[in-house]
Chains A and B, each alone.
Chain A
Amino acid sequence: MTVSPAPSRSVDEFEDEHVSASACPACIAAPSAEQMAKSGDIRGARIMLSLPTAHCAVCITDVERELMKQPGVKSARVNLTLKRASVDAESDVEAANLISALDRIGYEAHELDPGMLSATEADKRGRDLLMRIGVAGFAMMNIMMLSVAVWSGAEDTTRDLFHWISAAIAIPTTIFAAQPFFANAWAALRGGRLGMDVPISLAILLALGISLFETMHSGSHAYFEAATMLTFFLLVGRYLDYRTRAVARSAAEELAALEVPRATVLREGAEVVVPVGELVPGDLIRVRPGGRIPADGEVIEGHSESDRSVLTGESLPVQVAPGMVLSAGEVNLTGPLTIRVTAAGKDSSLHRMADLVAMAESAKTKYTSLAERAARLYAPIVHLLSFAAFCSWAWITGGDFRLAVNISAAVLIITCPCALGLAVPAVVTAASGKLFRKGLLIKDGTALERLAEVDTVVFDKTGTLTMGAPRPQNLSALSAEALSVAMALAEGSAHPLARALHDVALGQGAAPAILEDLREVPGYGVEGRWQGQTVRLGRANWIGAEDGATTATHLRIGNGAPIAITFADSLRPGAEEAVAGLKAQGKQVWLVSGDVEGAVSELAARLGIENYRSGALPLEKAQLVNDLTHEGHRVLMVGDGLNDTAALAAAHVSVSPASALDAARTASDIVLLGKELAPVADAASIAVRARRRIKENFGISIVYNIIAVPLALVGLATPLMAALAMSASSITVSLNSLRLR
């Protein structure tokens, strides 16, 4: 198999040309021919797929082989780090076909919008930081080699020569590599703040300045290696931090890329597809079976059923007839509908829900992360210490400013937050990597810390603890004949109950009976003729049966008695483990749903959840979360529907499955990429461990400072000590973080 990265890369190399253009002025004149040649071979479509379950070498080959087998696919490449596949294909290849092909061989896949993702892929800032790390690392090692010679006893001219060579490497290196710190420090100073970057920049510049001065005057101590080492370790911390943010940002983009909201409008008899934002009240819109209703409106024409589970949590579809008012977000199930828009954009119920989310979010106090708290404490202390050292030494020695500056610089260098800068990013990187492998995407940098504080978990029912997809319960009670008739009738409809019935019957090896005159009566069911008798599958009142308490469809063959086929929502895989795991961690678990009492209490009993609330409106869900918060609990909300968004936003931290609606995914901090719910419990325990590691890391760097700072204050610190303290603390902190993996 020749799976090559080349075609998918041409776009990126194209961008590289722009980056390198400034380095080679001659290239600017004539790259166009080359670029045109390159852009020529990307004429087809580029499809990006998200592969939440891919994890090994076999997955790579399976997925790539299967994708290559599809007609029109030119090349396919899996990126295991990002769990994505990029496919180059003819422009007529549909992503949906590729997704179903992968589904057949057992891989879950979602389509992503490549336009939205391009920003994260051409990751210029990340590569820029890596380059600075490389340069700082090179300089650090070379200077260290020279410094070791000085520390082991080089004297006079040799020492001066070594110091001069070190200066020649260190000065250009710092000017290039430490730019991010200088820029941030300058911005902080101009804004009248004192961030972490001010002491860092000051330490680097002071170390360089002092060392240069000492070198000119043949002094014995130079801190060139300390300056570059500081730059190196701090850049590593900065890079890890950036990576976490980039992943979070790309997660947000990935989610935005999952859904493109459009509506079909009837204008002067013709159907026009427009973005949902352009709808105005009075527009007539068409909604096909299976489509989501884009705006609030009144049904003008058509009979159907509507699934409003994302709005209300009800698992039973509602019958729809002309004159009925529908809300944006409902899913039309059986028949085509024509709707007159009554409220669009700002006035629609969808938008009111979004307002609710915005309100909840603004009411939430801004979370101060551990790193911010540490920085807030750290910067003034360091400056004061260093300044105090300068003043007291100038006073003690009666005006020996060279010594005083030397000592205050040593204090700054030694206290410099190498380990502090690594303490949080190293842990967060290790933890979010671990969570990503389990299928959780962290959208917000502080989500992990907030998750660690959670003591109460609130679950939504439909679509979160359950799949939101019903499964027939009593098919075995049907005779083989009735089953094959039911199956044949079910084939005629896209209604979720019919689809589930058909799929399960097929799985049991049943074959559909041969029917005539098969037709769907939108809103009611399916009808056909079998061996001269009329057969019907559908609503109870249409069939002539009693409506029961549970979700059911009814089958009637000729004039025989109606048979009820009951359905129950299937549990999301891992739901039991998730609830049990969270309870084992001593967390209080709640179930809150908009569904009816019976369905909710049954599920609560099945999962062993004591606290539940049924028939909850969206506002009541948010209210429950707020009440729990006021009682002093930190709430984790897990939900997927529009009716959960306000609660998701109000919660301390929130999780939603990838199948959730846009609004819900936007409102939540963490997204479950796969179908499994079990990782939620793991995430909670990993978060607790991560927070413990962060605190340990702070402890380690404080211990180093407690030992080194007094020595620096009394003027006993040497460049060797500074180098040792700096590297030893950084390495211990990194190793401690790696224990999390």
Chain B
Amino acid sequence: MDALLYSIPISLLLGGIGLAAFWWSIKNRQYDDPKGDAERILSDEFDDRPKQD
């Protein structure tokens, strides 16, 4: 049963990381244009570098 001492915290930690990633993606508005993003990946025009203002 010692394995539980490691595995439970690890599983919670992994879940927590997933939750944090989800939180980040919402904050960064990754779901604003799902359809557009799906199509953009097919476009041949790349913006290699971040836009310089």
Are the CB atoms of B53 and A130 closer together than 8 Å?
no
Distance (whole angstroms) from the CB of A36 to the closest CB of chain B: 15
Are the CB atoms of B39 and A80 closer together than 8 Å?
yes
What 18 additional pairs, Cβ within 8 angstroms, besides A141-B15, A169-B12? A2-B49, A2-B52, A4-B51, A16-B27, A20-B27, A56-B39, A57-B42, A60-B43, A61-B43, A61-B45, A78-B36, A79-B36, A80-B33, A80-B35, A81-B34, A138-B16, A138-B22, A158-B4
Interface residue count on the A side (C-beta < 8 Å):
36
Instruction: Verify if A82 is at the interface (C-beta below 8 Å from B).
Output: yes
Question: What residues of B have a CB within 8 angstroms of the CB of A75 in the complex?
Answer: 51
State A61–B41 Cα separation when bound (angstroms): 11
User: Interface residues of A: mostly helix, strand, loop or mixed?
Assistant: helix
Interface residues of A in 494-534 (CB under 8 A from B): none
Can you list 9 A-B contacts (CB < 8 A)? A1-B45, A2-B51, A4-B51, A12-B29, A81-B34, A138-B15, A138-B16, A141-B15, A142-B15
State A651–B49 Cα separation when bound (angstroms): 55
State A1–B44 Cα separation when bound (angstroms): 10
Are the CB atoms of A1 and B53 closer together than 8 Å?
no
Are the CB atoms of B53 and A41 closer together than 8 Å?
yes
State A75–B33 Cα separation when bound (angstroms): 17
Instruction: Verify if A131 is at the interface (C-beta below 8 Å from B).
Output: yes
Distance (whole angstroms) from the CB of A232 to the closest CB of chain B: 13
Question: What residues of A have a CB within 8 angstroms of the CB of B22 in the complex?
Answer: 134, 138
Instruction: Verify if B32 is at the interface (C-beta below 8 Å from A).
Output: yes
State A57–B16 Cα separation when bound (angstroms): 35
Distance (whole angstroms) from the CB of B7 to the closest CB of chain A: 10
State A177–B1 Cα separation when bound (angstroms): 33
Instruction: Verify if A135 is at the interface (C-beta below 8 Å from B).
Output: yes
User: Which residue of chain B lies nearest to A10 when distances are taken between CB atoms in the complex?
Assistant: B53
Are the CB atoms of A2 and B26 closer together than 8 Å?
no
Q: Chain B interface residue count: which class? A: 20 to 34
State A134–B22 Cα separation when bound (angstroms): 7
Question: What residues of A have a CB within 8 angstroms of the CB of B49 in the complex?
Answer: 2
Instruction: Verify if A165 is at the interface (C-beta below 8 Å from B).
Output: yes
User: Which residue of chain B lies nearest to A9 when distances are taken between CB atoms in the complex?
Assistant: B29
User: Which residue of chain A lies nearest to B19 when distances are taken between CB atoms in the complex?
Assistant: A138
Question: What residues of B have a CB within 8 angstroms of the CB of A703 in the complex?
Answer: none
Interface residues of B in 7-47 (CB under 8 A from A): 8, 11-12, 15-16, 18-19, 22-23, 26-27, 29, 31-36, 39-40, 42-43, 45, 47
Q: Which 6 A-B pairs have the closest CB atoms?
A: A4-B51, A80-B36, A57-B39, A134-B22, A138-B19, A79-B33
Are the CB atoms of B32 and A81 closer together than 8 Å?
yes
Question: What residues of B have a CB within 8 angstroms of the CB of A169 in the complex?
Answer: 12
Instruction: Verify if A7 is at the interface (C-beta below 8 Å from B).
Output: yes
Question: What residues of A have a CB within 8 angstroms of the CB of B53 in the complex?
Answer: 6-7, 41
Interface residues of A in 119-171 (CB under 8 A from B): 127, 130-131, 134-135, 138, 141-142, 145-146, 158, 161, 165, 169
Max count, chain A CB within 10 A of own CB: residue among B26, B49, B50: B26
State A589–B13 Cα separation when bound (angstroms): 63
Question: What residues of B have a CB within 8 angstroms of the CB of A3 in the complex?
Answer: 47, 51
State A81–B19 Cα separation when bound (angstroms): 25
State A75–B47 Cα separation when bound (angstroms): 13
Are the CB atoms of B33 and A131 closer together than 8 Å?
no
Are the CB atoms of A81 and B36 closer together than 8 Å?
yes
Question: What residues of B have a CB within 8 angstroms of the CB of A82 in the complex?
Answer: 33
State A82–B31 Cα separation when bound (angstroms): 12
Instruction: Contacts A7-B53, A80-B35, A81-B36 given; indicate if A134 touches B19 (C-beta within 8 A).
Output: yes
Interface residues of A in 646-675 (CB under 8 A from B): none
State A60–B44 Cα separation when bound (angstroms): 12
Are the CB atoms of A60 and B23 closer together than 8 Å?
no
Instruction: Contacts A60-B36, A80-B36 given; indicate if A134 touches B43 (C-beta within 8 A).
Output: no
Distance (whole angstroms) from the CB of B17 to the closest CB of chain A: 10
Instruction: Encode A21-64 as 1/0 by CB contact (under 8 A) with B.
Output: 00000000000000000000100000000000000110011000
User: Which residue of chain A lies nearest to B51 when distances are taken between CB atoms in the complex?
Assistant: A4
State A56–B11 Cα separation when bound (angstroms): 41
Are the CB atoms of B26 and A57 closer together than 8 Å?
no
Are the CB atoms of B39 and A4 closer together than 8 Å?
no
State A42–B16 Cα separation when bound (angstroms): 37
Question: What residues of B have a CB within 8 angstroms of the CB of A134 in the complex?
Answer: 19, 22-23, 26
Question: What residues of B have a CB within 8 angstroms of the CB of A1 in the complex?
Answer: 45, 47
Distance (whole angstroms) from the CB of A281 to the closest CB of chain B: 48
Distance (whole angstroms) from the CB of B9 to the closest CB of chain A: 10
User: Which residue of chain B lies nearest to A79 when distances are taken between CB atoms in the complex?
Assistant: B33
Distance (whole angstroms) from the CB of A590 to the closest CB of chain B: 37
Instruction: Encode A77-115 as 1/0 by CB contact (under 8 A) with B.
Output: 011111000000000000000000000000000000000
Question: What residues of A have a CB within 8 angstroms of the CB of B27 in the complex?
Answer: 16, 20
Question: What residues of A have a CB within 8 angstroms of the CB of B1 in the complex?
Answer: 158
Are the CB atoms of B29 and A60 closer together than 8 Å?
no
